């Protein structure tokens, strides 16, 4: 195989982003027992044997599981594991189409205002050792939603979706917020059922009443906010001990139990013998090794200690440029993951003593300063850290993820955003479409004049944090440092700082970061889920509350910034109110998203499109641009023989047939 052949496959893989529209919206889906279309327990096609005990890897510090309570977390690093521990109402298949799971039938008879799910018998909760604990019934979804919407129980996590869609959800959230903590923690579902549009008339029937017509509501069933929770578990542990429970205390209803967890070292998932889907193809064990240095996965793959590796730039280059290399014919560009990564500004940065970083906060509040960075970063070298062969495959120009939503004429929502921003929707030059050195210089000079008058000193110091022992992350940060500092001499100084174990606990929680690169993957199939994370003064807005800290900014000190956020919030809420015309709804969201980006309130950064060596057929995995199920280790095709580029050409052809 020659390099030309790799290029042909790479371009085809990039094209699948345009083809992978996500299903959803109304009606009953023919049952396939929850399996992925065409995968199941198929034997590998390359002559190997299926892997029974798979070993995978993740980066410690940035990707380590920290919360075992699925309703209580919105972080991908938690949900990517916990999706294997809980049984949802619905699943997705390998093309992103909704499939039956615990619900065997579902639909709406009134254009998305009321949704009914019919649940199967025989689904159970077990403990970490697989011992029976209780039956899983419709009431468990009632209990789960009450926990989510109870302010003192769940602190606002996973509330944005139900509050936006389910009748009475917002009112119940505000009701609990006004209660004393002890009173709210003691609530059962009695008051909740009086206020919120959810019913369980029998153990196999679950009904949701939406506050507006929501033809996409069934896609929410793949997200953590609509997962089940047993009252018997709450009774067993005590309501005060639910948040913070361990893998040994939690109950399981999914395909695996988490039988071993050593933080920042290793976790082991073991097949749940009581799992409802007896036809599913599952691994006996899934071992996830945590790596402080993400270069190590390449070495461990070569020694056979992990079954897949993402190739760092140096290793990828060595293999790609040597046609006689033993792995040359096994190079594969991965399917784009569902995350749209942004550079998020912290508008209320604190120093190590907890005092406001006035110099940074004043600069970040200045639109010209933000725009100088927005237009001044030529990210090609940074993308090349992940994909030096085709770095612009990682280019991201929008906030919402490509491939999630489509207008009625088939136009991708993101293409509308890109077009309205004034960029060509297709990159035909392999050069960044947003980078404009002249614009960046213009905004830089304006910012210097305005900020100097406000007492800001230059260079403005930007604190950027990476995991201390992750050499790959530090190397990538150095590349980014050079990109940003090239905007102007003595304009911005990037300080690369490190944390030991947890970005959340050590950096973003204490508000020490100036900027942070973070990716959002949709919880359901609507732009509301992306833009809703940036609303001003909204408890359910994830990034506003946990990264940008815009709600803590004194309006008197940054009136223009707050006015811009308020205008965006009004636009986004007006878009959310449009329910009778999906094209009009999407266009209103496009307008809001373009406004948000034109004011550089965040900066779209990258997509994850990397090269790999693998024993896994990625086209057999659950895959959608929404929900939390894409890491479910169910019905994967694997082989003891490594897959080749030629194998992946066949997988792609079958996928698109």
pLDDT for 260-271, tens place per residue?
999 999 999 999
Q: What is the mean pLDDT of residues 223-246?
A: 97
Q: What is the mean pLDDT of residues 106-122?
A: 96
pLDDT for 421-461, tens place per residue?
999 999 988 899 999 999 999 999 999 999 999 999 999 99
- Per-residue pLDDT band for 651 (boundaries 50, 70, 90) equals very high
Q: How many CB atoms lie within 10 A of CB 235?
A: 9
Round to whole Å and give the CA distance between 144 and 139: 9
Q: What's the gap between Cα 177 and its chain centre? A: 27
pLDDT at 36 exceeding the cut of 50? no
Angle between helix 367-376 and helix 559-576 axes, rounded to 10 deg: 70
**In this predicted model, which residue has the larger pLDDT, 372 or 524?**
372
pLDDT mean across residues, the chain: 91
pLDDT for 175-187, tens place per residue?
999 999 999 999 9
pLDDT at 38 exceeding the cut of 80? no
pLDDT at 547 exceeding the cut of 60? yes
Closest C-alpha among 482, 463, 470 to residue 379? 482
pLDDT at 35 exceeding the cut of 60? no
pLDDT at 384 exceeding the cut of 50? yes
Cis check: omega of the bond before 459, within 30 degrees of 0: yes
The predicted pLDDT at position 42 comes to 58
Closest C-alpha among 423, 370, 364 to residue 397? 423
- Per-residue pLDDT band for 337 (boundaries 50, 70, 90) equals confident
pLDDT for 44-58, tens place per residue?
989 899 999 999 999
**In this predicted model, which residue has the larger pLDDT, 240 or 313?**
240
Among 13-27, 71-85, 253-267, 312-326, the minimum mean pLDDT is found in: 13-27
The predicted pLDDT at position 87 comes to 97
pLDDT at 296 exceeding the cut of 50? yes
* Residue carrying the six token digits 């380590």: 64
The predicted pLDDT at position 120 comes to 98
Q: How many CB atoms lie within 10 A of CB 507?
A: 20
pLDDT for 462-485, tens place per residue?
999 999 988 889 999 999 999 999
What are the chain's domains? 86-244 (3.90.76.10), 340-607 (3.10.105.10)
- Per-residue pLDDT band for 282 (boundaries 50, 70, 90) equals very high
């Amino acid at each position: 195989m020659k390099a030309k052949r790799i290029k042909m496959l790479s371009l085809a893989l990039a094209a699948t982003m345009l083809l992978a529209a996500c299903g959803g919206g109304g009606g009953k889906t023919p049952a396939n027992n929850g399996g992925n279309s065409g995968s199941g327990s198929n034997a590998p096609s390359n002559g190997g044997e299926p892997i029974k005990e798979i070993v995978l890897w993740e980066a410690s510090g940035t990707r380590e599981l920290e919360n075992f309570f699925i309703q209580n977390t919105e972080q991908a690093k938690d949900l990517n594991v916990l999706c294997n521990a809980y049984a949802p109402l619905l699943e997705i298949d390998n093309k992103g189409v909704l499939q039956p799971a615990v619900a065997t039938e579902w639909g709406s008879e009134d254009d998305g205002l009321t949704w009914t799910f019919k649940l199967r018998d025989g689904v159970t909760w077990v403990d970490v050792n697989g011992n029976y604990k209780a039956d899983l019934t419709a009431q468990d979804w009632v209990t789960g939603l009450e926990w989510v919407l109870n302010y003192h129980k769940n602190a606002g996590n996973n509330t944005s979706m139900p509050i936006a869609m389910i009748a009475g959800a917002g009112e119940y959230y505000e009701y609990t917020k006004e209660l004393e903590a002890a009173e709210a923690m003691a609530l059962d579902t009695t008051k909740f059922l009086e206020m919120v549009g959810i019913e369980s008339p029998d153990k196999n029937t679950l009904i949701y009443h939406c506050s507006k017509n929501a033809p996409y509501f069934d896609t929410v069933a793949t997200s953590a906010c609509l997962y089940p929770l047993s009252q018997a578990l709450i009774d067993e542990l005590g309501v005060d001990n639910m948040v913070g429970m361990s893998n040994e205390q939690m109950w399981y209803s999914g395909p695996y139990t988490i039988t071993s967890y050593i933080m920042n070292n290793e976790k082991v998932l073991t097949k749940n013998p009581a799992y409802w889907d007896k036809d599913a193809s599952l691994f006996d064990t899934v071992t996830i090794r945590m790596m402080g240095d993400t270069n190590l996965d390449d070495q461990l793959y070569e020694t056979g200690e992990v079954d897949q590796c993402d190739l760092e730039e140096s290793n990828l280059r060595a293999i790609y440029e040597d046609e006689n290399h033993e792995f040359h014919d096994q190079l594969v560009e991965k399917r784009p993951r569902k995350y749209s990564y942004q550079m998020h500004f912290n508008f209320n940065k604190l120093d190590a003593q907890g005092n406001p970083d006035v110099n940074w906060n004043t600069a970040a509040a200045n639109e010209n300063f933000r725009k100088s960075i927005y237009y001044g970063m030529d990210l090609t070298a940074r993308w090349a850290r992940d994909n030096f062969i085709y770095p612009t495959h990682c280019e991201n120009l929008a906030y919402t993820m490509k491939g999630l939503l489509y207008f009625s004429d088939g136009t991708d929502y993101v293409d509308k955003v890109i077009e309205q921003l004034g960029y060509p929707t297709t990159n035909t030059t392999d050069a960044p479409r947003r980078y404009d050195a002249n614009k960046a210089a213009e905004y830089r000079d304006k910012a210097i004049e305005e900020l100097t008058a406000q007492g800001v000193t230059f260079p403005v110091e930007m604190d950027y944090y990476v995991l201390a022992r992750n050499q790959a992350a530090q190397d990538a940060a150095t590349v980014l440092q050079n990109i940003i500092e090239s905007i102007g001499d003595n304009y911005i100084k990037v300080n690369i700082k490190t944390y030991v174990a947890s970005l959340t606990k050590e950096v973003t929680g204490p508000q020490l970061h100036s900027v942070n690169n973070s990716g959002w993957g949709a919880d359901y199939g609507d732009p509301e889920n992306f833009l809703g994370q940036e609303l001003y003064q909204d408890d359910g807005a994830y990034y506003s509350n946990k990264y940008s800290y815009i709600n803590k900014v004194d309006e008197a000190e940054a009136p223009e910034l707050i006015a811009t956020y308020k205008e965006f919030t009004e636009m986004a809420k007006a878009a959310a109110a449009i329910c009778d015309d999906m094209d009009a709804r999407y266009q209103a969201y496009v307008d809001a998203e373009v406004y948000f980006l034109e004011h550089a309130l965040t900066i779209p950064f990258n997509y994850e499109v990397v090269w790999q060596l693998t024993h896994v057929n990625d086209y057999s995995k659950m895959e959608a641009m929404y929900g939390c199920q894409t890491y479910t280790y169910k019905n994967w095709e694997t082989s003891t023989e490594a897959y080749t580029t030629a194998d992946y050409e066949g997988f792609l052809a079958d996928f698109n047939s």
